[in-house]
Chains A and B, each alone.
Chain A
């Protein structure tokens, strides 16, 4: 079976000429949990909208579950659970009533089991107690949970979630992660956009990084991490001597801060550096290899700037 999500040269140019998504080629393997990363305004939501046929690509193609979008949306979308850009509901209706309406919009959904399925979905996101409360009275996190419940009303082959943990409390975040793992365990492919690198590290098997509308990287999380070279870190008062020694041993990218010297150790085993430093009379307060986080990788890829890309 082909990949559940495939895009080729996907491009969106908004009125006014801004290119929000620029020739993006995604390939989401079946069964993966695919983290879709990128700074604010990098085009994640726009890409997701195109995946789901909400907006028309300026050029390029989308294939969802092996069928062309948006042409086959009536056939494809019932098999896809979606949450796009924040929770949106009828505030004057209860959470359950909202679920029933969205389910009714899908003509393949069985009305006989509708109520039961709504109950299950609410249960799964922990909203059973608030099922009959008007959405107007929901907190942001409750709405976010309800939005996830919409995607869970049926068994899906693919979940497309735009920032599913946005606004959730720590328990909620953990539960959602747990839910995603569980769904993935059942064979559902999950495509989730997020800013939270921790989330990616904990649940994602694959990741892609967007920046300014362009896809920078797309690979397994393991690959992404293994590409990050571990760094040697030495805490010492003798900064100068330590740096000199390490440089002499071929350590590159040396950086000196108040108490530490760090750098890329290259291929040498770590104990050799300890021995050399001791031999050079460097006082060692701390010593070790540190694996950079995905966050570092992310920043390395997308740059340090805080301003949103324009």
Chain B
């Protein structure tokens, strides 16, 4: 049938660069995640963490006294970054990751946009990859928000200078900032396991709220299991068991063993739940 053949040729002609724009979906995905007011509010809350801690310490003027990183803030504003990251890790950051990851696929399914994306065609595996990349970028953005906010507030409110490490030695401010940056990176990587769980749960349902609740529930259960001493045999397998290892970057020299174990564990969780999400999304009936 000749008209159609002509159309086919024309269609090829209007798409001279077929197959070259794989990145567009990923960029669009980032726009979707970071363009939403919900995400921006979440990041704003995270940015407020260092501010609140900083103001509280400034007002109470607690000099030394307190143990840990908080006690060091008054002496060196740089520790505001570390303390804020450390304090956000148990609750704020996981909550943010839960919301964004729970939303990711279930949100599209509930809006019905999933079918439009798939007929575009985005490709199911590629869409999943774009979702995961956006989640990873969000994890990084979340910790970097705290890092930057902590940096600004810490430098404004407190004196800054050479950084006292856990091992009792002192390094330059630049070195300290680099280590704090490393901590932000390690923490954002630590969140990837949870992001993977959220992505998988999100692929199961068309109700974003249910996905968020289930992801957060899973996180809480993992936290409880980690807190039960009798279960120490399974502890090394639990998602958050080595989350606190980020502080090992503040030793002299940095102690990598636990950090590497943590990252391997996160990679394991991510691999399992990402492939599960893949199996689900590629075999799911999209209605």
| A contacting B, Cβ–Cβ less than 8 Å | yes
B236 CB to closest chain A CB, in angstroms? 39
A259 within 8 A of B: no
* Chain A residues whose CB sits within 8 angstroms of the CB of B4 once the complex forms: 1, 4, 30-31, 157, 187, 189
* Chain A residues whose CB sits within 8 angstroms of the CB of B15 once the complex forms: 78, 108-110, 154
Q: Which residue from B24, B25, B111, B119 sits with its C-beta under 8 Å from A54?
A: B119
* Chain A residues whose CB sits within 8 angstroms of the CB of B257 once the complex forms: none
The distance in angstroms between the C-alpha atoms of A49 and B221, with both chains bound, is: 39
Which of A81-89, A172-180, A220-228 sits within the interface? Answer: A81-89
The distance in angstroms between the C-alpha atoms of A88 and B10, with both chains bound, is: 29
* Chain A residues whose CB sits within 8 angstroms of the CB of B21 once the complex forms: 104, 107-111
The distance in angstroms between the C-alpha atoms of A249 and B261, with both chains bound, is: 97
* Chain A residues whose CB sits within 8 angstroms of the CB of B111 once the complex forms: 88-91
Name the residue of chain A whose CB is nearest to the CB of B18.
Answer: A108
* Chain A residues whose CB sits within 8 angstroms of the CB of B1 once the complex forms: 1, 29-31
Name the residue of chain B whose CB is nearest to the CB of A55.
Answer: B285
B11 within 8 A of A: yes
Q: Check if B121 sits within 8 Å of A78, measured CB to CB.
A: yes
Q: Check if B118 sits within 8 Å of A53, measured CB to CB.
A: yes
The distance in angstroms between the C-alpha atoms of A74 and B123, with both chains bound, is: 7
With A88-B111, A154-B14: A105-B287 Cβ-Cβ less than 8 Å: no
With A31-B3, A73-B121, A189-B4: A104-B287 Cβ-Cβ less than 8 Å: no
* Chain B residues whose CB sits within 8 angstroms of the CB of A86 once the complex forms: 112
Instruction: Give the bracket for the number of chain A residues in contact with chain B.
Output: 35 or more
Q: Which residue from A31, A85, A91, A105 sits with its C-beta under 8 Å from B25?
A: A105
Which of A33-41, A95-103, A193-201 sits within the interface? Answer: A95-103
* Chain A residues whose CB sits within 8 angstroms of the CB of B10 once the complex forms: 155
B32 within 8 A of A: yes
* Chain B residues whose CB sits within 8 angstroms of the CB of A156 once the complex forms: 11
The distance in angstroms between the C-alpha atoms of A102 and B121, with both chains bound, is: 9
B171 within 8 A of A: no
* Chain A residues whose CB sits within 8 angstroms of the CB of B32 once the complex forms: 90, 101
Q: Check if B120 sits within 8 Å of A77, measured CB to CB.
A: yes
**Sample (23) of A-B pairs whose CB atoms are under 8 Å apart:** A49-B286, A52-B115, A53-B118, A54-B118, A77-B121, A78-B15, A84-B116, A88-B115, A100-B28, A101-B31, A102-B113, A104-B25, A104-B27, A105-B25, A105-B116, A105-B122, A109-B15, A110-B15, A150-B116, A155-B11, A157-B4, A157-B8, A187-B6
Q: Which residue from A49, A107, A155, A187 sits with its C-beta under 8 Å from B19?
A: A107
